[in-house]
Amino acid sequence: MWKGLAKRTQSPFSMPNSMPLLHESEGLIVCRDSAIGVERELECQIISDFAELEELATVWERLWRSDPNAEIFQRFTWVRAWWQSFGSRFKLCVPVVYERGQVRLILPLVERGGTLRFLGSPQSDYSDMLCCHARPAQLLAMALEALLRSAPEWKECILSNLRPDSHMVRAWSELPSQLRRHLQLGTTHSCLTIPLGERREAVIDSLLAGKHMRRRLQKLQKAGVVSFRHIESEAEAQQQLTDFLRCHRRRCAVFAKTSAFEQPAMRSMMRTLVAQLDLRRELRFGVLELNGRPLAWSLGFQANGKYAFYQQTFDLDAEEYAPGEVLLHYLLSYAKESVEREFDFLRGNEFYKRRFASQVSQCRTVYFQRPGIRGRLRGFQRSVQGQSHAAKTRIEGFARTHENVFHVFGSIWTWNLQVFRRLRRAKRAGELTDYLLASCMDLFRHVVWSKYGATLLQFQSENGKGLTVLPPCLTSDASIGITTGRLSDLADLASEHPEILFPGFREYRSRLKRGDQVYLVRQNNELTLVAWTGVRPTGELSSSAHASPNRDSKVAVAMYECWPIREPGVGCTQLLAMLATEASKGKLGLLVFCPALPPVSRVALESRGFLPGFRITGCRILRWFRHESVRDCAVDEQPSAQRGSCPKLRNR
């Protein structure tokens, strides 16, 4: 227990006459109340050792089960898994109130950086105290008094994620006025839910009857055998959890977000819950499969007749089938048979949740400040934040009801996330100053003035005949691997290399949909180059097509964009040689967009019978004024010191 617990201190505020009097005795805060006609003794101690809390596990479960609306997030199994994963970062501070030796209230808190929060926050979508008593306000007041008297290290207490019907919110109005002066009750986020009850079949049938959802399901069924099941084997659940975590991180990378499972501690917690919760009744880990191949996963919890939709994700490469929506179809069908009270989408205002939810639950936060000037200043700060949050909520609601406005806000938000992600990475690497200077120069080049020169190399085979054998120096290298990439590979790339500014994933999808291919070049299993290719008319790929010698727009195999991750070397040469072979088979031209092709790559292409084309140079002012010129020429030789190196990598 906390040091100094038995030390007598002056109460920061006086209790009213109707409330029982508090005093300290033998290390406990004791309350004797004779005003209700019986002698009742209440005691409160603050537990700071999890081993002591573990001894109360049976009592904890009894209090949890006494509440028919208790959330899975307050179960001791959840609390134990959270502490095992995150506990090393926090100090335990749990007031426990006894009545005649029986535990009546547990207020599970932890302290970090001078702030008290609920044990399990923020990973728990709902939090609350555990209480089984006719007068919960009296017990809560005693626990808060104990925090002020015997836990001197904290500065502010933030009790968030409280449902409107939680024990703490209901006890709020009955707390003594002297205590409420140090408390503030605010509204934070909302949770979308589907109340079920006796009409659950009618409610869910109306949701499943939607044309949009049925079309998605029929489209997937045409692709093969569709099945959905909940995994009940721990070994299989742990195996599927690996795929679930990987796909969730990819999905977040698409929106420039950081996955909740990016932290090793969070992944460890999920694996602990899979091992300790009942997979048949409590943790419902669902998987949607097409011909036996997993497409989407749902991780939910079920307790007291309620299903909590905790996390879901799907394979990015199957995005065209909308597997997330099909997954929700099967989950609603499951709820129709096995969920009695409520289907809760938990935190988040995603559009798909609003399409199905019929009720919005506004979660509350209680701020508890210490008496004194600092506490008053923090209270004023929380009041201002509450007003700004209300304004933010109104703006967000307006944006969500206007699609064009929402897309503008979404683009700004995604750009903001990308910028701060790169800043954090540069700061960790000790390169923040260099990154800021380079960013300012890039901004100047993109907005004010820029000069560029790119060699558009068009290689035409002579009479359709090319050499079939490369020179000995350019034969295949066993350490080089060239594979076609998928959307999931690009998500991994964006996550692993946030310092490189790639086009948006909306552009990725449209490129892949129209038949373009992305090649991943690896050397010794390390990614060195990413290149986009496609079969296009030659004039389509240049903004100076009117000045190009290719007014007839002949079709060619084009490598129109490439991103060197590190020096590609021979990998780039082998990729170009492969594209040259592909173009020769179709008797097509080959277009390569590159500031200056390394000489070794030119040798490889000329050995296939392809010759240089023309070069584009230009300048751009304020992004609207552009001038370009095109001239036929051979590729200029690079200085010997840079011979064979990647020009795009040099210019980055």
Backbone torsions φ then ψ of 463, nearest 5 degrees: 60, 30
Highest mean pLDDT: which of 150-164, 327-341, 419-433, 502-516?
327-341
**How high is the pLDDT of residue 11?**
38
What stretches of 151-233 show up as alpha helix (H) in DSSP? 167-172, 177-180, 200-208, 211-222
3-state helix, strand, coil in the chain (%, to 5): 40, 30, 30
Q: What are 203-238's pLDDT values in tens digits?
A: 999 999 888 889 999 999 999 999 999 999 999 999
**How high is the pLDDT of residue 649?**
55
Alpha-carbon span 260 to 532, nearest angstrom: 31
Average pLDDT, the chain: 80
Evaluate if residue 312 carries a pLDDT over 60. Answer: yes
Domains along the chain with CATH numbers: 21-188 (3.40.630), 197-340 (3.40.630.30), 448-651 (3.40.630)
Q: Which has more confidence, 280 or 474? A: 280
Question: Which pairs with CB-CB distance under 8 Å and at least 24 residues apart come from 419-428?
Answer: 421/256, 421/258, 421/498, 422/498, 422/499, 425/498, 425/499, 426/499
Q: What are 43-86's pLDDT values in tens digits?
A: 999 999 999 999 999 999 999 999 999 999 999 999 999 999 99
* Cross-strand bridge partners of residue 42: 31, 99
What distance lies between CA 234 and its chain's CA centroid? 25
Query: Greatest CA separation found in the chain?
Result: 109
Alpha-carbon span 351 to 328, nearest angstrom: 13
Evaluate if residue 644 carries a pLDDT over 70. Answer: no
Q: What are 78-120's pLDDT values in tens digits?
A: 999 999 999 999 999 999 999 988 999 999 999 999 999 999 9
**How high is the pLDDT of residue 366?**
92
**How high is the pLDDT of residue 593?**
76
Please give the DSSP secondary-structure letter assigned to residue 609.
T
**How high is the pLDDT of residue 403?**
65
Q: How confident is the model at residue 187 (pLDDT cuts 50, 70, 90)?
A: confident
